[in-house]
Amino acid sequence: MFTLRIATIQVFFLLLFIGTQSGFASKDPILTNSTEIESAVHTDLEQWISSDSYLKFKEHHFPEIKGSLTVAIGVSGNGKIETIFNQDNSTNSIAFFNAFSDLLKKHTFAFKMKKGERIKIIHTFKIQ
């Protein structure tokens, strides 16, 4: 009886250990080449601007806005957007840029970089 209890406890801790180890494994790929990172950012941003969440946001809040928006985006090592700076805004709407920036900052990329690494990307969005 006592050995059965010990065996059960050992199996429990073994399963717990295996479960926690798989939780620490990164699910997102780690990119190291700056060309790969830039390409991944541009691809991801193009998908984001055509996503349902963005299109619903624009249609609901700014249906009349059209033009282009060039921004400098600072991306951190964990795949999050840290900074967004306006480079060129043909929409001429500060309210749209502010709301657009707030929404974009919530986006997380499907990759990571080395810890502490940051990159600045300049991207042009076509606002339809």
Domain of 117, CATH number, reads 3.30.2420
Residue 75 inside a domain? The answer is: yes
How many domains does the chain fold into?
1
**Calculated CA dihedral for residues 112, 116, 117, 122, nearest 10 degrees:** 90
| Three-state SS letters, 41-78 | HHHHHHHHHCCHHHHHHHHHHCCCCCEEEEEEEEEECC
Residue 32 inside a domain? The answer is: yes
Give the CA radius of gyration of the chain. Answer: 22
Residue 7 inside a domain? The answer is: no
Per DSSP, the three-state class of 85 is strand
Range of the domain at 30: 26-127
Residue 60 inside a domain? The answer is: yes
The model's pTM: 0.74
Whole-number mean pLDDT of the chain?
A: 85
* Backbone dihedral angles phi then psi of residue 34, each to the nearest 5 degrees: -65, -30
Q: How far apart are CA 123 and CA 104, in angstroms?
A: 12
pLDDT digits (tens, 9 = 90+) for 29-76: 888 788 888 999 999 999 999 999 999 999 999 999 999 999 999 999
Residue 50 inside a domain? The answer is: yes
What local confidence, expressed as pLDDT, does residue 32 receive? Answer: 77
